[in-house]
C-alpha cells in the first residue's frame, strides 16, 4: 500500500513538473492574430471585449498552469495574482531565482499589453492601463 501511495505521489509530482515546463515553453510565433490597435496611449481607456478576450486567451495558454484559472496560484512557488498589481517588469523580464520566466521573447508587445491589462483588471487591484510604451520601457 505504501508503494502504491509513493508511486502515485511521484507520478503526480512528475506530471505537475512536466506541465509547468511545457506551458512555459518557447513559442516564438511571428503570427500575431491578437485584435486591437498596436498603440494605446490613453491609460484610462476601457478594456475592450476583444482586448480582454485576447488577454484571457494568452493567460489561459501561458499562465494557468502556475497561477491557476482563478489567479490564486499554488503558493509558495507560484504566488496568487489576486488583489495585487502585476509588475510589467516581472512579466516582461521574469524574476531570477524563481519559477517566473520572462515572456519578452515569447510574446509580442501587443500580446504582453493584452495579458498584463487582463491580469490587472481581472485579478488585481490596479485598474490603470499599461501601454506598449510601458512594456518597452522595461525591456
- Report pLDDT digits (tens) over 87-115: 899 999 999 999 999 999 999 999 999 99
Helix (H) or strand (E) holding 67: helix 64-67
Residue 127's pLDDT band, with cuts at 50, 70 and 90, is confident
Nearest of 124, 126, 122 to residue 56 by alpha carbon: 122
Mean per-residue pLDDT for 114-121? 94
Q: What is the pLDDT of residue 32?
A: 41
CATH number of 39-138: 1.10.10.10, 1.10.3720.10, 1.10.760.10, 3.40.50.720? Answer: 1.10.760.10
- Give residue-wise pLDDT tens across range 58-87: 999 999 999 999 999 999 999 999 988 888
Beta bridge partners of 78: 74
C-beta of residue 130 within 8 angstroms of C-beta of residue 113: yes
- Give residue-wise pLDDT tens across range 23-66: 444 444 434 444 443 344 445 456 799 999 999 999 999 999 99
Number of CB atoms found within 10 A of residue 93's CB? 16
Is the full-model pTM beyond 0.85? no
Counted residue by residue, the chain has a size of 139
Query: How deeply is 49 buried, as exposed, middle or buried, from its count of CB atoms within 10 A (0-12, 13-18, 19+)?
Result: exposed
C-beta of residue 90 within 8 angstroms of C-beta of residue 46: no
Q: What is the pLDDT of residue 25?
A: 44
DSSP output for 106-139: TS-HHHHHHHHHHHHHHTSS--PPP-HHHHHHH-
Cis ω before 9 (30° cut-off from 0):
no
Amino acid at each position: 500500500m505504501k508503494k502504491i501511495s509513493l508511486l502515485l505521489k511521484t507520478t503526480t509530482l512528475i506530471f505537475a513538473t512536466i506541465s509547468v515546463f511545457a506551458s512555459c515553453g518557447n513559442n516564438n510565433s511571428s503570427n500575431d492574430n491578437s485584435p486591437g490597435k498596436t498603440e494605446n496611449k490613453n491609460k484610462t481607456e476601457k478594456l475592450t471585449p476583444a482586448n480582454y478576450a485576447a488577454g484571457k486567451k494568452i493567460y489561459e495558454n501561458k499562465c494557468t498552469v502556475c497561477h491557476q484559472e482563478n489567479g490564486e496560484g499554488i503558493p509558495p512557488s507560484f504566488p496568487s495574482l489576486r488583489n495585487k498589481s502585476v509588475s510589467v517588469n516581472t512579466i516582461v523580464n521574469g524574476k531570477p531565482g524563481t519559477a517566473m520566466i520572462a515572456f519578452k521573447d515569447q510574446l509580442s508587445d501587443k500580446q504582453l499589453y493584452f495579458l498584463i491589462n487582463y491580469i490587472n483588471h481581472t485579478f488585481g487591484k490596479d485598474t490603470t492601463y499599461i501601454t506598449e510604451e510601458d512594456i518597452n520601457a522595461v525591456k
